Chain A
């Protein structure tokens, strides 16, 4: 106990350098823990993006590409799936439900997704949560639109707001479907998935706004009004992709193989879980590199502490001799310096944790809007505590180096006070 007190008092006496050391360690720990936290949260939100769907089907392309455009709204489909093929799968005896997805238009940078109302019955995320409405209802009329939470939030839309969909993707799209405005009828609850950044409307509505368009431009001379369009038969001819739920999981692989081998149209069916894992493994390399870098920063922090303690050691030889003369054992001198770095690391870790949580509180909104990762203020996980414990253990072990030096000094010097 006396050793701990001596260490604390001695550190307080050298508080300027001690504080600097503490700050160095604190920042490195903040970085380390922060990277680890972002990593876990990203992974969670990744894995939580889609659940309860057995197959995703799209035109033949890469597994990851299909996942990216159909679920993450990243990139574009190279080609579509015909309505006939969709119907074929939909009517398969083992299929419980299907949800068609049609992408391609946008609204002020947010993707527009055409689907059916089954979307709200079957799309699940996280721990098999269904989408829930913050306000309003599903789309019923042709020109109804349901907004994801972020879209409504960022663009300030309420129930009843009017929205014009732009043709194609991109914020600065010049061609807009101005003649057929939509009305917001529902706003979804926040999910932490790409659904938040999506505008949902019916497949028929997508057909309607493109009725007088061809190959991305308006057909000159034609001008079908919104009311006229509503009266036309709006049967979609193709969709981008669709989600499939099976009656029995066992049949999933069989159906997957049948779809992939379908002769009349090249299609690709993927298992969302497998594709998500594969995607994560790709992202995981960057994430591991980041972890490594931040671990190295922690090591640099500890080495900085080692330097400071070793530098102070020479001027503290007197202190050691005095302690020896009043009865301190040589191993107590070793312990004294080891305690010092243990204490510094411990406080540094504490400081790092508070820095991180302070930072999360400040950066939460920015992180969420810019990279779409919501970092909740949850306490460190067991794994993260273990990592922090490891840092403290390393700091303590580092302290053995000056500890051993001081031990050698005090054995050599005895009580002779040297300067």
Chain B
């Protein structure tokens, strides 16, 4: 099976000489749903930035879908990220000045690849957004027209999921997307997220320090075990 994410001898530190991450090997297969766990400050978000190609490792390599990020220029990495990765963050994921629909379709405006895929699948980008929002139980017309700031936290996170999934990116990365949700909302959110990822055959990298979520995932990775540099935070 093709690897979605592959890390090799990866080293990264924010300051020279202080290594934060030192990962010998990590491989996530395509379609796999991985739960990445680690204490606050352990470097989870940093790792996601490395995978997203926004940060460059000090040593070692990041391979996504068999592409070596190091071989790409900055702009090419930006383009690669736009084309192949969808992100969901902890909270306030949405641009307050855009409507729900515009927020969801935003990645298609920066990536032709995802725009084309959305159109191929649903006819138009807007149709695609509506389908996703509908699946995520946000399909009411009335809701689409409201300013995003009026939505509840749970609704906002689901809009963010729709945005991460539009144009079927191969990899979806979620950085503690449930930490602002209550337990009921959280479970419902994860179910919807997993279901949509499965439908689109997207690989999911889910980051959290909440151990109660393990059961939903194929594999649980603890950053402390993974990180050779585990002694330090």
**A143 CB to closest chain B CB, in angstroms?**
77
Task: Flag if A329 contacts B106 (CB, 8 Å).
Answer: no
Q: How far is the CA of A78 from the CA of B78 in the complex (A)?
A: 82
Known A2-B109, A330-B78; contact A325-B52, beta-carbon cutoff 8 A: yes
Binding site secondary structure of chain B: helix
Interface residue? A327 (CB, 8 A): yes
Interface residue? A319 (CB, 8 A): yes
Q: How far is the CA of A180 from the CA of B133 in the complex (A)?
A: 96
Residues of B with C-beta under 8 A to A318: 92
Q: How far is the CA of A9 from the CA of B52 in the complex (A)?
A: 27
Q: Closest chain B residue to A10 by CB distance?
A: B97
Residues of B with C-beta under 8 A to A10: 95, 97
List A residues 366-403 near B (Cβ within 8 Å): none
Interface residue? A324 (CB, 8 A): yes
Task: Flag if A326 contacts B106 (CB, 8 Å).
Answer: yes
How many of B's residues come within 8 Å of A, CB to CB?
A: 31
Task: Flag if A329 contacts B52 (CB, 8 Å).
Answer: no
Contact among B90, B96, B107 for A13, CB-based, below 8 A: B96
Known A2-B110, A325-B52, A414-B55; contact A319-B83, beta-carbon cutoff 8 A: no
List B residues 66-103 near A (Cβ within 8 Å): 74-75, 78-79, 81-83, 87, 89-90, 92-98, 102
How many of A's residues come within 8 Å of B, CB to CB?
A: 23
Residues of B with C-beta under 8 A to A322: 89, 93-95
Binding site secondary structure of chain A: helix
Interface string of A142-168 (1 = CB under 8 A from B): 000000000000000000000000000
Task: Flag if B95 contacts A327 (CB, 8 Å).
Answer: no
Task: Flag if B83 contacts A327 (CB, 8 Å).
Answer: yes
Interface residue? B54 (CB, 8 A): yes
Residues of A with C-beta under 8 A to B81: 325, 327
List A residues 281-302 near B (Cβ within 8 Å): none
Task: Flag if A325 contacts B45 (CB, 8 Å).
Answer: no
**B50 CB to closest chain A CB, in angstroms?**
9
Q: How far is the CA of A347 from the CA of B69 in the complex (A)?
A: 42
Residues of A with C-beta under 8 A to B109: 2
Q: How far is the CA of A2 from the CA of B52 in the complex (A)?
A: 22
Task: Flag if A326 contacts B97 (CB, 8 Å).
Answer: no
Interface string of A297-338 (1 = CB under 8 A from B): 000000000000000000000110111111111110000000
Interface residue? A416 (CB, 8 A): yes
Interface residue? A417 (CB, 8 A): yes
Interface string of A166-206 (1 = CB under 8 A from B): 00000000000000000000000000000000000000000
Q: Closest chain B residue to A2 by CB distance?
A: B109
Task: Flag if B74 contacts A330 (CB, 8 Å).
Answer: yes
**B25 CB to closest chain A CB, in angstroms?**
23
Residues of A with C-beta under 8 A to B111: 327
Task: Flag if A319 contacts B54 (CB, 8 Å).
Answer: no
Task: Flag if A329 contacts B92 (CB, 8 Å).
Answer: no
**B98 CB to closest chain A CB, in angstroms?**
6
Task: Flag if A417 contacts B90 (CB, 8 Å).
Answer: yes
**A240 CB to closest chain B CB, in angstroms?**
71
Residues of A with C-beta under 8 A to B163: 326
List A residues 1-18 near B (Cβ within 8 Å): 2, 6, 9-10, 12-13
Contact among B79, B87, B95 for A319, CB-based, below 8 A: B95
Contact among A2, A326, A329 for B87, CB-based, below 8 A: A326
Residues of B with C-beta under 8 A to A326: 82, 87, 106-107, 110, 163
Q: How far is the CA of A330 from the CA of B54 in the complex (A)?
A: 10
Residues of A with C-beta under 8 A to B119: none
Residues of A with C-beta under 8 A to B98: 6, 9
Known A326-B82, A416-B49; contact A12-B97, beta-carbon cutoff 8 A: yes
Q: How far is the CA of A191 from the CA of B102 in the complex (A)?
A: 60
Contact among B52, B92, B94 for A414, CB-based, below 8 A: B52
Sampled A-B contacts (13; CB under 8 Å): A9-B97, A9-B102, A325-B52, A325-B81, A326-B82, A326-B110, A326-B163, A327-B79, A327-B110, A328-B82, A329-B78, A414-B52, A417-B92
A sample of 6 more A-B contacts (CB under 8 A), given A319-B95, A325-B89, A416-B49, is A9-B98, A324-B54, A325-B52, A327-B111, A329-B74, A329-B75
